[in-house]
Structure 1
Amino acid sequence: MAEKSKGWRPSLASTMIIAMVLGIITGIFFGELVAWTGVVGSAVIMLMQMTIYPYILVSLISGIGKLNANDAKSIFTKAGSIMAAIWAIGLIAILLAPVTFPTLESASFFSTSEVQPKAEIDYLKLYIPANPFESMASGAVPALVLFSIALGVALITVKNKDRVIDLASTAAEGLSKITQSVVKILPIGVFAMSANAAGTMSVEELESLQVFMISYFVLCMLLAFVVLPILLTSFTPFSYRDVMRVSWGALVTAFSTGNIFICLPVILEESKQLLKKHGKDSEDALRLVDVVLPIAFTFPNLGKLTIILFIFFAGWFIGKPVDISSYPMVGISGLLSLFGSVYVAVPFLLESVFLPADLNQLFVVSSFITGRFNSLVAVMNLMAVTLLAAVVVVYGVNRPKIAAIKFFALFGISTVLVFAGTRIMLEHLIDEDKNTSSLIAGMRVERTLTDQAQETSSWNRVANAEISTVENIIKRGVIKVGYQRGNVPFSYFNSENKLVGLDVALAYRLAADLGVDVEFVPYMNEHMADDLERGYFDIAMSGVEVDAELMKHVAFTRQVMQLNLALVVPDHMVKRFSDTSILRRDEINIAFVQHEAMIRRAQKVLTNLEFDQLVHYESFFNPDKPHNYDALLTSAEAGYAWSLFYPDYGVALMKEPGTGRLYSFPVAFALARRNQDLLNYVNNWLDMVRAYGFIDKQYDYWIQGHGATPEQSRWSIIKDVLGWIKD
C-alpha cells in the first residue's frame, strides 16, 4: 500500500503572512467590533518577550566564553573594528533617513503631558550594571549586554570554564525551545493585532503609516543593495557582480522566510567560494570565516538597527518630532538595546524620547511586512562583516586611503540622491493641508446647557448702581457675564458666529443653576474693574488672571484652574525661545494682552525686553497688519488653541532658569468688591461643580480638545456595505 502523502503544510513565515492577511480582512469586515483583539495581540507579544532577557545573558556568555585567547584578540580588535565601522555607517544612513518624511504643517490642542515633569533617565544605571539582576528586572538591556560581554571575556582565560559554558549553552538551548513553542501561537497574535489595526485605524493614520513603510523600504534597499556591497567592493578585490551573485541565494531565502538563522550555512559556503575564486582562501582566512560569522550573528545587525527609523517616524506621526540633538542618544541606545528583541527595544526607545508606549502596537503590525526587508539588510551585513574580516585581517587593504575615499564618495552621492528622491515623492503623495482651524472653530457649548439657560439678545452696556445680589439676579431673570473678545479658548466666536468657550460654558451652567438666563457683555481688560464697579455686568469670566494689583479693585473667586505661562512664536523659533535664558541676553519685543503685574516685575529685572500691550490677541496674528513683535505672552493653554487657527505658530513654555520649573498662574472669576453675596454663592457653586467633575469635563473639551472631533465609527463592510448593524 502506497504511503499517504502528508499534504502541503505552510511554513511559519507563510502562516504569519496568511494570519496577517486574514486579520486585515477581518478588521475591514467587522470594523470596531474586533477592537478587543488588541488585548490578545498584546498577550502574545508579552509571551514572546519572557525569554529574551535571560537568553541575552546566557547566549553572550557561552558564545564569547568558548573562544580561545588568540581568536578573541583577533575578533575583538580587527574584526570588531570592522563591525563597529559598519554599525557607524549604517547609523549615519538611518539617522539621515528622517529627511524623507514630508513637511506636515499641523497643530494640536494643549496636552497636560507638556507640563508634567519628564522622568529623568539615569544613564549610569542604563549602561553600567552595578546590579546585573536589577538591570534584568528593570529592562536595562544595554547594562545587561555589558555585563554578559564582560563575563564572557573573563571566562576565556578561566581553566574550568567548560562547566559554566556548558551550563550557559544548555540554558540557551532550553530558552530557545521555549521560544520555539511560543512561536507556534505567534500567528494568533499577528492575526489579532492585524484585525485590531485594520478595524480601528483611521484613514488618516493609514495614510501617515505609508510614509514610514516607503521610507523604511527605501532605507533597506539602499543599505542592502548599495551601501554594503559598495563597502565590500571598495576594500576587497571583489566586484559588485561577485558580491550580488554569492549573496543572492541567502537574500532570497531571508526575504521569503524572514529567518536569518537558516541563511548562515549559505553565507558560510558562499563566502568561502568567493575567497577561493579570488585566491584568498588561506587557512587563516577560512578559519576567520568560521569564527566571525557565528559571533557576528549574536550581535545586532544593520537589519535590526533600521527599526530605529520607526522611533523618528513615531514622533513625526503624532506631531512631536524627536529633537535632532537626541539623535545620537537614540542611535547608541538603539544599538545596545537591539542585542535583545526588537519587541523590547522599541518600547524602551519610545519611552527614552517621551513618546507614547502604545505606538508600539503600530510597529508590531508593520513589522511583519518590514521584517522581510530588514532581513535583506541583515544577510548583506553578515556577508560584509565575514568577508571583510577574512580579507582585511589576513591580507590587508590595497591603498586604503583611496578605498576609503571611493566608498564615502559613492556612499554620500547615492544616499543624497535616494533620500532626496524619496522626499520629493512623499511630498506629492501626502496632503499637507491639514485645516486645524476647523477643529476649534467648530466647537460648541453643549446644547443641554444652552437649553437650560437661554442667551438674551440685549448685549447692552448699561450701568447699574444696584448691587447684583443673588436675590436681585433671580428677580431680574438674567445674570450679566463680562467676557473678552477673541480670548481663545475661554470666550470667542465660532464658525457659526456663536459665542463659545470654556468660561462661556461655565456661565451657562451658573445661569442654569441660578434658574435665570445669561447676557454676555464685552469688556476690555484694562477697564474690567471699573465696569464691574459700575454694574455693566455682574461677573467677569474670561480666563482672568488673579493679579495682586487687581485684588485692590475687584474681588476674586476661588481659583477655577491653573494655567502655564508661555510665549507664542513662529514655529521655527520655538526651540530658540524654549531656552528661557534668551530673555536675559537678547533684545526682544513681546506683545501681551493681560499679565500686567508680571510685566511690571519683569521690566525691573529684564531691561533689555520691550513690552507692548494689545487690545485683542488677534492683533498679533493678523497677517494684514504686519508688526515687529517677536513673541506673544499668554498661557500655554491659550497658545496651543491659537496655533490651531494659525498652524505656522508654536508654543514655547516659560521655565525658570536652572530649575526648569514652569511659570504658572491661577485664573478665577472677578466681581465687584462690594458684592460679597454673589461672591459667596459663586465660591460655593465652584466647589459644587468641581466635585461633580463639570470643570474637568469642560477643561478636557475646550483646552485639550477631547471630543472636538466628532466621533465617527470606523468604516466596515458589515455596517456600511451590508447594513447588518447600525451605529
Structure 2
Amino acid sequence: LTVIATGKLFVVLPQVAEKCEQLLREEDESTFGISETTSGILVPLAYPFPHLGKVLAFVFVSFGAWYVGRELTPGQTAVMAATGTLSSFASPLITIPYLLDQYQLPQDLFALFVLPGFLTTRLADVVGVMHLMTLTLIVTQVLQKRLRIRWVSLIVATCALLVCLGVTGAASRWYLASTTPKYDLDERLLRIEIPSPHEDVFVYRSRDKITNRPPPQSSTLDRIKTDKVLRVGYHPDHLPYSFFNLQQQLVGLDVELMHRLAMRLQVRLEFIPYAYDTVIEQLEAGEIDLAVGGLILNPERLLRAGFTQPYQTATMAVVLPDHRRGEFDTWDDPHMPLDLQLGVIYEDLVVAARRNLPHIDIVQIDSIKSFFSKDLDNLDGLIIAAEEGPFGT
C-alpha cells in the first residue's frame, strides 16, 4: 500500500528489509542476528539492479508492434527481452523510445506508454517489492545453507501459475483478435466538408466542358462584376488546399476561402481544374480569373502573373520513416549520409533542392501517393512542405 501511495520503490526499502527479517525470524529464531544483518545489507544492494516490474514494462514494445499492424518474430521478441533487461538499469522513459526505434515502430506509440503511467508504474513498483523480498529471502537462506525446496508446494504453485498464464494468454489473444484496430484517419480527413458553403457553385472536373470566353479586355475585378461569375482554378489533388472528399465534393483551405469570397461578392462560383504547367496560360487566356491550391511564388510566375500577399509561409521538411528522423535534424548536418535519394514533387523545389543539397540525389515524382508505392522503395525520403506532410501521410 505504501509503494502504491508514494509511487517510489526507494521509499519502502526499510519496510522491505524489516518484513524480510520478520519472516526469517518466524522461520527460525536461532538465526535472528545473522538474518537481520543479511536482510539489511541485501535489500539496498539489490535495489539498483533491474527488477521484474521494470522488465515487464517492455511487453509494451510487443503491444506497440501489434497495434500498428506488425508482428515481432520469436527471435525478435527474445532479442528485445534481452536488450530490455540489460537496458533496465535506466528509466523506461529512456529505454522504451530506444526499443521503438530499434524495431522501426512509430515514436507516437510512446504516448500510449506514458498516458497510463500513473497506474502502470505503481503496479511495476508492487512487483518490484515482491521481487526484492523474494530475492532477499532466497539469498539469505542460501548463505545460511538453510534453503529447502518444498517440491509438492513448488509443483502445485507452478501448475497453478501455468494455468493462470494459459487462461490469461488465451483471453488476451481472443480479445486482441476481436479488437484489431482499424486505421481510419484518412477516411476522417476525406469526410471534411465546407462549412456554410456558397449556394451558387459549380465544379468542373475536366477542362473539356468549359464554356470559352474571350480574352480579358478589362481588369479581372471589372469582368467578375460584369459577368457575375468568379472562375477559380484549382488543383484536384493538393492536400490540404484543394482536394475531393468521399462525397466527391471539392474541399480544402483555399476552396473554403473562395466560397467566402464569392459570398462577399455575391457572384456565381465556378471551379476549373489546372495543371502546374498550364496554370499561367489559363490565366492569360481568361479561362480562370485566379488560381488557388498552394501555388509556389517564384520569379518565372511573377513575370507573367500577379500574386496576393501570402497568407501562409510553408516550412520545408522531409517525410521519412520515423526511426530515421534523427538523420535530418538540420539541412547542413555534416553527418548526413552521402548516398541519400530524396523525392520532390514540384519542379520548382527540384531546382532549389539540387542547388542547396548538391551531395544528395534529388528525384522528381508525380505525387505524394507515388512516394508510398512499391516502385519507389529506393527513396529515403520526400521533401515537402511541413504543412502538407501530415495530410499526405
1:456 maps to 2:202 = yes
1:285 maps to 2:15 = no
The match for 1:601 is: 352
Does the CA contact (< 8 Å) of 1:285 and 1:390 recur in 2?
no
Q: 1:444 to 1:628 in 2, by over 3 A?
A: same
1:518 maps to 2:274 = no
The equivalent position to 1:639 in structure 2, one of 375, 379, 389, is 389
* C-alpha RMSD over aligned residues: 5.1
Please report how far the alpha carbon of residue 546 of structure 1 lies from its aligned counterpart in structure 2 after TM superposition.
2.6
Query: When the two structures are superposed, what TM-score results if normalisation uses the length of structure 2?
Result: 0.64
Please report how far the alpha carbon of residue 561 of structure 1 lies from its aligned counterpart in structure 2 after TM superposition.
1.5
The match for 2:73 is: none
- 1:120-199 alignment runs, 5 A limit: none
Q: 1:354 to 1:552 in 2, by over 3 A?
A: farther
The equivalent position to 1:575 in structure 2, one of 313, 319, 323, is 323
The equivalent position to 2:21 in structure 1, one of 268, 277, 295, is 268
The match for 1:167 is: none
1:421 & 1:587 partners in 2: Cα distance? 46
Deviation per residue, 1:525-584 (Å, 9 max, x gap): 122222222222111110122334433333222122133323445xxx443365136875
The match for 1:705 is: none
Q: 1:530 to 1:420 in 2, by over 3 A?
A: farther
Q: 1:334 to 1:527 in 2, by over 3 A?
A: same
- 1:382-531 alignment runs, 5 A limit: 382-388=133-139, 391-392=142-143, 427-446=176-195, 448-451=196-199, 454-456=200-202, 460=210, 462=212, 464-466=214-216, 467-531=218-282
Does the CA contact (< 8 Å) of 2:365 and 2:371 recur in 1?
no
The match for 2:338 is: 585
- 1:341-360 alignment runs, 5 A limit: 360=115
The match for 1:566 is: 317
Q: What is the identity, as a one-letter code, of the residue corresponding to 2:361?
A: L
The match for 2:363 is: 611
Does the CA contact (< 8 Å) of 1:485 and 1:491 recur in 2?
yes
Please report how far the alpha carbon of residue 492 of structure 1 lies from its aligned counterpart in structure 2 after TM superposition.
1.1
Q: What secondary structure is seen at the aligned counterpart in 2 of 1:525?
A: coil
1:541 maps to 2:287 = no
Please report how far the alpha carbon of residue 456 of structure 1 lies from its aligned counterpart in structure 2 after TM superposition.
2.6
The equivalent position to 1:375 in structure 2, one of 120, 126, 142, is 126
Please report how far the alpha carbon of residue 508 of structure 1 lies from its aligned counterpart in structure 2 after TM superposition.
0.6
- 1:208-223 alignment runs, 5 A limit: none
Please report how far the alpha carbon of residue 515 of structure 1 lies from its aligned counterpart in structure 2 after TM superposition.
1.8
2:302 & 2:313 partners in 1: Cα distance? 17
Please report how far the alpha carbon of residue 504 of structure 1 lies from its aligned counterpart in structure 2 after TM superposition.
0.8
- 1:63-78 alignment runs, 5 A limit: none
Q: What is the identity, as a one-letter code, of the residue corresponding to 2:324?
A: R
Structure 1 unaligned segments of length 5 or more: list them: 1-11, 14-44, 64-260, 337-352, 398-413, 644-727
Please report how far the alpha carbon of residue 390 of structure 1 lies from its aligned counterpart in structure 2 after TM superposition.
6.5
Does the CA contact (< 8 Å) of 1:564 and 1:637 recur in 2?
yes
1:600 & 1:379 partners in 2: Cα distance? 64
Q: What is the identity, as a one-letter code, of the residue corresponding to 1:496?
A: Q
Q: What is the identity, as a one-letter code, of the residue corresponding to 1:489?
A: P
The match for 2:97 is: none
Does the CA contact (< 8 Å) of 1:484 and 1:522 recur in 2?
yes
- 1:101-112 alignment runs, 5 A limit: none
The match for 1:553 is: 304
2:63 & 2:377 partners in 1: Cα distance? 36
Q: 1:456 to 1:420 in 2, by over 3 A?
A: same
1:463 & 1:507 partners in 2: Cα distance? 21
Does the CA contact (< 8 Å) of 1:441 and 1:495 recur in 2?
yes
- 1:703-722 alignment runs, 5 A limit: none
1:555 & 1:313 partners in 2: Cα distance? 55
2:113 & 2:229 partners in 1: Cα distance? 49
1:523 & 1:423 partners in 2: Cα distance? 53
Please report how far the alpha carbon of residue 484 of structure 1 lies from its aligned counterpart in structure 2 after TM superposition.
0.9
Q: 1:574 to 1:307 in 2, by over 3 A?
A: closer
Please report how far the alpha carbon of residue 497 of structure 1 lies from its aligned counterpart in structure 2 after TM superposition.
1.1
Please report how far the alpha carbon of residue 268 of structure 1 lies from its aligned counterpart in structure 2 after TM superposition.
2.6
Structure 2 unaligned segments of length 5 or more: list them: 69-79, 95-107, 148-161
The match for 1:350 is: none
1:296 & 1:577 partners in 2: Cα distance? 39
Please report how far the alpha carbon of residue 520 of structure 1 lies from its aligned counterpart in structure 2 after TM superposition.
0.7
Q: What secondary structure is seen at the aligned counterpart in 2 of 1:537?
A: coil
Q: Which has the higher contact order (CA 8 A, sep 6+)?
A: 1
- 1:236-385 alignment runs, 5 A limit: 267-272=20-25, 276=28, 285-289=34-38, 291-292=40-41, 302=51, 305=54, 332-333=90-91, 360=115, 362-364=116-118, 366=119, 375-385=126-136
The match for 1:347 is: none
Does the CA contact (< 8 Å) of 2:24 and 2:35 recur in 1?
no
Q: What secondary structure is seen at the aligned counterpart in 2 of 1:495?
A: coil
Does the CA contact (< 8 Å) of 2:231 and 2:271 recur in 1?
yes
Does the CA contact (< 8 Å) of 1:293 and 1:382 recur in 2?
no
Does the CA contact (< 8 Å) of 2:339 and 2:360 recur in 1?
yes
Q: What is the identity, as a one-letter code, of the residue corresponding to 2:341?
A: I
Q: Between Structure 1 and Structure 2, how many residues are aligned?
A: 335
1:302 & 1:622 partners in 2: Cα distance? 45
Please report how far the alpha carbon of residue 600 of structure 1 lies from its aligned counterpart in structure 2 after TM superposition.
1.3
